[in-house]
Amino acid sequence: MADPRIRTVASKTLYRGRVVRLTLDRYRTPAGESFRRETVRHPASVVILPILEGGRVLLIRQFRHALERTIHEIPAGTSEPGEPLLACAKRELAEETGYRAGRWRRLLQFYPAPGVSTERMVLYLAEGLVPLKHPIPKDKDEYITPCVVSKERAVAMVRENQVVDAKSIIGLLIGLGRVRW
């Protein structure tokens, strides 16, 4: 498919938060038509599929304020300015689970909501997990509990709508080899 050469002609910041920035952007098509879209500007983030000895999966249960409930997920987090993504993944795994990994492998990248957000997520497989001697304190707004399940149970949790967020579904199904590409 050809690139339509739609150009950004104006961008205005409507809101700047701790992590995201919301902009109102105006575009022009090759035919001279213009249109506007709101865009959530978000830094790159990481998603981690942690595998324990015996092939068990280390999930977390985390309260998500937007949903007003606690859900099962795989660990994830937003990169800090200038932070390499693998360093971010290592930090997030330690903060959210109390483990570090001996082996890391980058699996893929994806955009969870390209119609409204610039966020790019990178999925890592973390193996050779070892508990930290001194767990890192969680952020004051994070309510996270680690949860260990078998690979089979993790996939069943996706099928049974017990894992409901896209990044965790992608991470589990791709990382556990349930989807081939």
Helix (H) or strand (E) holding 76, with range, is: strand 76-78
Q: Where are the domains of the chain?
A: 7-41, 45-175
Q: What is the pLDDT of residues 34-70, one digit of tens each?
A: 999 999 999 999 999 999 999 999 999 999 999 999 9
- The pLDDT of residue 135 is 81
- The pLDDT of residue 180 is 64
Predicted TM-score of the model (pTM): 0.92
Q: By percentage, how much of the chain surpasses pLDDT 90?
A: 89
Read off the pLDDT band of 141 (50, 70, 90). Answer: confident
Which three-class secondary structure state does DSSP give residue 173? helix
- The pLDDT of residue 142 is 83
User: And the tokens for 91?
Assistant: 């930090």
Yes or no: domain 45-175 corresponds to CATH 3.40.50.2300: no
Q: Is the pLDDT of residue 118 over 60?
A: yes
User: And the tokens for 105?
Assistant: 């492998």
Q: Is the pLDDT of residue 2 over 80?
A: no
